[in-house]
Each structure stands twice: as C-alpha cells, then as structure tokens.
Chain A
Amino acid sequence: MSDVLLRNITKRFGTTTAVDHLSLDIADGEFVVLLGPTGAGKTTTLRLVAGLERPDEGEVFIGGERVSQLEPAARDVAFVFQQYSLYPHLSVHENLAFPLKSPVRRLAAAEIDARVKRVAEMLRIQHKLNNKSTQLSGGEMQRVAIGRALVRQPSIYLMDEPLSSLDAKLRGELRLELKRIQQELGATILYVTHDQIEAMTMANRIGVIDGGKLLQIGTPREMFEDPNSAYVAQRLGQPQINLLPAGALPNGRIPDGAVTVGARTEHLDLSKSGSGEGEVEWVEHLGDQIRLHVKLGPHMVTTLVDPDSELVAGDRVAMRLKNPLYFDANGARLRS
C-alpha cells in the first residue's frame, strides 16, 4: 500500500475535455470516493490512474514513483469494472487466480491456491469456487470481481461503480462489506460512483466532480454540512436541498451578495399555524422517510418530518430558517 498523487492531470478526447487540471492526493489506507453525474470525468480519472489512458498534461504518482507513462501492468493497481468483470469461460477459482498467474507475478500454485481461498472466505464465496462464473447471481459475480482485485494486494484499488448493476438490497449489503474489508486490510481505494449513499456511507473523503473538475473534497460530514457551492450542496442529501431566493423565508441577517438560500430539513423550523406562509401540498410516505412537500408562494419546499407527525395535506405551516447556507449569484458559498 502507498499513497497516490494526481498532479494537474488533463485528458482530452478530440474537442471535449474529460478531465480538466485535476489534482488529488490519496493517502495510504484511505477510501476516497469521486461522486459525479454521468460524463463528469470520474471514470476517465480512474482510467488515467490505471494507465488505460495517458494524460495529455499532468502526472500520476504511485508510492512516490512517477507512473504516468507506464503500462497498466507495470503500475501495481487493481481495477474493478462496473460490469463484464468475470471471464465467462473460466471458473470462479480460475477467475480469482487469473491475476496471480500473470507473467509479472507467476506465483507458485500453492501460494495462488492459498490466496484464492483466503479471499473467497473473506467474501463468503468459498462454496462457489468450482462454479462456472456464468452460473453466479449478480451479487456473487460482483463479489468475485472484487475478489479478483483483492488477491493482488496492489498499491491502490480502483473501482468503477462496482455496485451499480445490483439491486438496492444487495447494494446495501455489499456496501457494508466493502467498507469492512477495506478497514480490515487497510486498503487504499479510489472509488467512483454517481450514488451519493455509497459515497456518504463508505468514503473517508468524498470528492465531488463535474465537467472534469474537482469541485470540493472532504469528509462526508464536511461535504454535507459545509459545502462550498450550491452544486455540491445539491449533490448530497436526500431529499435534495431546497434552493430558494435569499429573502423567501424569515431569517436573521442575510450576508451581502447572497442570492440563494439553501435549506435542508435541519435548517428549517416547521410549525403548524393557521397564519403560516406555507401550505402542505402533499405528504409522501416513503416508508423510511416521510417527506413533506410545502407550497411556499411560487416555490416548493421539501422537508422530512417525524413518523408521528400529524400534518396532512392542506395544513398551513409557519417556517423559519436556522443557520441556512447562502450562495452568491454564481452559486458559490457565502460564509458569514
């Protein structure tokens, strides 16, 4: 294990710039998640670290060594793809052993077998080792795919939305498991996803990326509670943060230049009041969340309420802001 540095890397495909002067330090043993929408440049960043793409500008360092121009095989990284991760013509055991039989490693058969067994046990797939990889369920396939990275013990694990093809329940299970394994091994992981729950629950640090640029990076709590921009604030939190004109709700002092105010559930004080400015339009029971959609003049405000809340559609509510987030005309955060 060792730390990975990206220095000002840029990658262009024709006229589009996929990654734009991006710098990122990943410490040894750290779990960093890059969060961004499709086309944000997160997969390209991962491929640049892996060596599947060469940067047009900038350098990649792994463990202090400059690797920007090295072949993927020479970089000591492991990659978990979103799909197509297993070789269909090989068994689970052969799939797991595949990286260990490569010409740069060529481990002894006994060592390979021992490592495969250990990883299979860690991922609870030891009973499937002799199955053909096509006979596995989706969850088992992704476990094997992760296992194929784990047998290697590389400098860094690169993961490209490895859980996105699974259903919600399995995703939840594997999320926990991946985090547990990462902590057990002290592994360094760079993980990209568009799913904020994955980012929030697994990452030591989250980097929000858009248009090839790294907008902000920090711990999940920092990112959620103290975003630098309206964009980052919108990326995290369910329901999405409410963005309203700065004066739409009563609050103390509004900082100079504030155009937009961002309010999450914890920034809103809500009380039932006949003379309140808001009207409950619809109470959405999502089971784990109860969302209140409140009509506030021309705006809609979505907030969470307690399961035992008595509010129903048509009720009028008074709303007050508590330490909300302010943004200027460009969406940049204003800190008072």
Chain B
Amino acid sequence: MAEIRVENLKKAFGDFVAVKESSFTIPDGSFFCLLGPSGCGKTTTLRMIAGLELPTSGKIFLGGEDVAFKRASERDIAFVFQLFALYPHMNVRRNIGFPLLCQGVPGAEIRKRVEETAKLLRIDHLLDKSVSGLAGGDRQRVALGRAIVRRPLAFLMDEPLGTLDTEFRDLMCEELRQLHNRISATTVYVTHDQLEAMSMADHIAVMNHGVVEQLASPRDIYDRPATVFVASFIGSPAMNLLTVNSRIAKGAKAIDLQGAPIAIPEAREDAPGEKLTLGVRPEHVRFSDSSPFRGEVFGTEYLGTTQIVTVATAQGHLKARLPSQIAVRTGETVGLTLAGERLSLFDAASGRAIRTALYEERPHV
C-alpha cells in the first residue's frame, strides 16, 4: 500500500480545461472520495492517477515515485470499473485468480492467494460455484476479490455502485467500508452521490469545474462547507442558502434578517461584500411561535421518523427537518429559529465562506 500525492495536476482537452492545477495527498491506507457533479473533472483525475489518461502537466507520486507519464500497466494499481463485470464462463475461483494468471503467477501461489482473498470477503464457501448462479451481493464480492487479489498499491474505483438499487447500494457501501477497515488499502473512489461519499470516505475532495473546492473529512465538509457550491452539493436536502443584505465586520455576532437579529458564530474577518449568503442546514431550523422570522408552510414531505417542511419566507424557500410527530399544515404561518452557532456565512459575490468561530474550531479528523 502506498500514499498517493498529486501535484499541480492539470488536464486540458484542446481549449477545454477538465482539471485545473490541483494538488492533494491521499494518505497511505485511507479511503478517499472524489465527489462532484458530472463533468467536474473527477473521473479525469482518477483516470490520470490510473494512467489511462496522460496529464497536460503536473506530477503524480505513487508511493514516492512519479508515475504521471507511465503506462497504466507499469503502475501497481487496480481499477474497478463496474463491480458486476465477471467472466460468465469461469467459476468463482478462476474469476478471482484471473488477474494473477495474467501476471504469470505460479498455480500453487494463485490457489493460496485466491483462498486468502475469498476468506477476507467471506465467500470461501462459494469458490467452486459458477458465477452465473450467484446472488447480487456475492457477485459484487467476487468482482471485488478480483481487484484485491493482486494486492496492488492502490484501488481506484469509478462509480462502482452507480447502477444498483438504492437499498442494495447502502448495503454495499457498508460492506466496502468494512472491507476497507480490514485491509486498509489506499482507495480512491469517484462518485457523484454524496451519500456514498459521506458514508464511506475518510477524506472527501469536492470538485466543481475542474477545481477541488474543499478537501476535508466528511464531517467537516458537512459542518463547515468552504464554498456555496459545497454547501449546496452536500446534504439531502441540501443546505438552505438565504441571501441577506447585510455587512458584517470582524467580531460581529449577529446579522439582521427581516429586521430581527439572528445569532451567528463570531466573525473572525470582515466580509468583503455588501451581500451575504446565509447557510443553514435543515436540521438546524426549528419552529417557534415567538420568533419574528416568519414564513408560510409550502409543503411537507413525510420521511417516517422525520419530515421535511418547506417554508416560504421573504428570503426564499427554507427547508426544515423536523420530527414527524409535529403536526404541520400547508398554508399556516410559522415562526422559525435558526441554530446560531451552526450557521455558515458566505460572501455572496465569490461564494467563499467567511471565517467564523465555527470554522476555527479544531477540525474533525
């Protein structure tokens, strides 16, 4: 296993810059997610790490060695495209052993490693079964086995769960993460699904338009989004973003919303512009009859334990996540309070987060 370090990596296709100079380090043994909407450059970045795409400039260190311009076959990595791609004419054992056979590993060694791998994935009882008779989860495990049997320096995965049913995807996420806990292999995982990233990754790099907007732990990304884009991309429903015409200076502890002061984490810098974007997560919105910040209930979405209530306010629609027991009627006027210490503030012009007490807390690792 090895650390992966990317320095000033850039990729242009003609005039179109897919990845702008990005640098990041993926620590040895960590589960790293590249997350972003389609076309953000995440897959291109992964393909450059894999050696399927040559960078325009920049360096890629795999275990200390610069491999940016080496062929894919000269890099010791495993690339998992679609976990379901198995060879239907081979049994489980031969499917898993196939990559070793290609490398010319002796038969006895293949046997040993295949059995070790199968044990790790808890499919050792299936080794001599045909792959066509396997259940979905087991097929997925066999495909994973084919990737890990080689013991490569790193695993690269490009949306491997993209085509699965939601429920099955949750299950596989959990399993992938548990497998990672067992073998601690450096893993780079590309996805556009924030839930997958949040549930599995140690570190997430959120990409947009070829730029890494934030690189942090899932919790930091959720609690302290660095930009408006990150704030709106993470979370389901995403962070509420309200435009506020208010200046704040260093040391400010409240802003003005509809004439009512709203507590915010203490600002540690002056906001550069006239307009601010106030970011509040749906679970940090509460109903309170006495609050001067008011709105009309636009709709509710029942989710079982919780419900999402959309409230139309003067600043736009605001979604609140509330326990299902609270009865809410569409059309009624409600007062809203926001959990002051958990709010994010962004400069409306640049979309960049304003440094506040919240952001200066020791980040989660």
Q: Is there any pair of Cβ atoms, one from A and one from B, under 8 angstroms apart in the complex? A: yes
List chain A positions with a Cβ less than 8 A from chain B. 37-38, 167-169, 172, 175-176, 179-180, 194-197, 200-201, 220-221, 224, 236-238, 264-266, 284-288, 304, 307
- Complex: A169 Cα to B238 Cα, angstroms: 9
Would B165 and A287 count as touching, CB distance under 8 A?
no
Query: Chain B 300-315, CB within 8 Å of chain A: the 1/0 string?
Result: 0111110010100000
Would A284 and B199 count as touching, CB distance under 8 A?
yes
21 pairs from A and B in contact (CB 8 Å cutoff): A38-B165, A168-B193, A168-B194, A169-B233, A169-B238, A194-B167, A195-B166, A196-B166, A201-B301, A220-B304, A236-B304, A265-B305, A266-B305, A284-B199, A286-B195, A286-B198, A287-B222, A288-B236, A288-B283, A304-B305, A307-B283
Chain B nearest CB, measured from A141 CB (Å): 14
Which of B167, B302, B321 is A200 in contact with, Cβ under 8 Å? B302
Query: Chain B 193-236, CB within 8 Å of chain A: the 1/0 string?
Result: 11100110000000000000000001100100000000001111
What residues of B have a CB within 8 angstroms of the CB of A167 in the complex?
Answer: 37-38, 192-193
Interface size class of B (residues with CB under 8 A): 35 or more
Would B218 and A285 count as touching, CB distance under 8 A?
yes
Which of A238, A288, A307 is B304 in contact with, Cβ under 8 Å? A238
B282 interface residue per 8 A CB criterion? yes
Would A224 and B199 count as touching, CB distance under 8 A?
no
- Complex: A102 Cα to B38 Cα, angstroms: 37
If A37-B165, A176-B299, A224-B304 touch, whether A285 touches B283 (CB-CB below 8 Å) is no
B107 interface residue per 8 A CB criterion? no
B331 interface residue per 8 A CB criterion? no
B237 interface residue per 8 A CB criterion? yes
What residues of A have a CB within 8 angstroms of the CB of B233 in the complex?
Answer: 169
Would A287 and B166 count as touching, CB distance under 8 A?
no
Would B218 and A287 count as touching, CB distance under 8 A?
yes
A-B contacts besides A236-B304, A307-B283, 16 pairs, CB < 8 Å? A37-B165, A38-B165, A168-B236, A175-B301, A179-B299, A194-B166, A197-B166, A200-B302, A221-B302, A221-B324, A224-B304, A266-B305, A287-B195, A288-B237, A288-B281, A288-B321
- Complex: A238 Cα to B302 Cα, angstroms: 12
If A38-B165, A168-B236, A287-B235 touch, whether A201 touches B198 (CB-CB below 8 Å) is no
- Complex: A51 Cα to B237 Cα, angstroms: 38
What residues of B have a CB within 8 angstroms of the CB of A264 in the complex?
Answer: 304-305
Would B303 and A197 count as touching, CB distance under 8 A?
yes
- Complex: A221 Cα to B327 Cα, angstroms: 12
Residues of B253-291 whose CB lies within 8 A of A:
281-284
- Complex: A36 Cα to B37 Cα, angstroms: 29
Query: Chain B 165-206, CB within 8 Å of chain A: the 1/0 string?
Result: 111001000000000000000000000111100110000000
Chain A nearest CB, measured from B166 CB (Å): 5
A-B contact count (CB 8 A): 79
Query: Chain B 234-253, CB within 8 Å of chain A: the 1/0 string?
Result: 11111000000000000000
What residues of B have a CB within 8 angstroms of the CB of A288 in the complex?
Answer: 235-237, 281-283, 321
Chain B nearest CB, measured from A203 CB (Å): 9
Would A220 and B302 count as touching, CB distance under 8 A?
yes
What residues of A have a CB within 8 angstroms of the CB of B194 in the complex?
Answer: 168, 287
What residues of A have a CB within 8 angstroms of the CB of B166 in the complex?
Answer: 194-197
Which chain B residue lies CB-closest to A264? B305
Max chain A Cβ within 10 angstroms of own Cβ: one of B234, B236, B281: B236
Chain A nearest CB, measured from B55 CB (Å): 27
Residues of B293-347 whose CB lies within 8 A of A:
299, 301-305, 308, 310, 321, 324, 342
What residues of B have a CB within 8 angstroms of the CB of A196 in the complex?
Answer: 166
What residues of B have a CB within 8 angstroms of the CB of A265 in the complex?
Answer: 305
Which chain A residue lies CB-closest to B310? A176
Which chain B residue lies CB-closest to A286? B198
Chain A nearest CB, measured from B153 CB (Å): 27
Would B305 and A37 count as touching, CB distance under 8 A?
no
Would A200 and B38 count as touching, CB distance under 8 A?
no
Would B167 and A37 count as touching, CB distance under 8 A?
yes
- Complex: A175 Cα to B238 Cα, angstroms: 15
What residues of A have a CB within 8 angstroms of the CB of B303 in the complex?
Answer: 197, 200-201, 238
- Complex: A179 Cα to B299 Cα, angstroms: 10
Would B304 and A287 count as touching, CB distance under 8 A?
no
Which of B199, B219, B235, B302 is A201 in contact with, Cβ under 8 Å? B302
- Complex: A167 Cα to B170 Cα, angstroms: 16
Would A237 and B235 count as touching, CB distance under 8 A?
no
Which chain B residue lies CB-closest to A183? B299
What residues of A have a CB within 8 angstroms of the CB of B170 in the complex?
Answer: 238
- Complex: A152 Cα to B61 Cα, angstroms: 59
What residues of B have a CB within 8 angstroms of the CB of A286 in the complex?
Answer: 195, 198-199
- Complex: A22 Cα to B294 Cα, angstroms: 48
- Complex: A221 Cα to B302 Cα, angstroms: 8
What residues of A have a CB within 8 angstroms of the CB of B167 in the complex?
Answer: 37, 194
Chain B nearest CB, measured from A182 CB (Å): 12
Chain A nearest CB, measured from B207 CB (Å): 15
What residues of A have a CB within 8 angstroms of the CB of B238 in the complex?
Answer: 169
What residues of A have a CB within 8 angstroms of the CB of B165 in the complex?
Answer: 37-38, 194
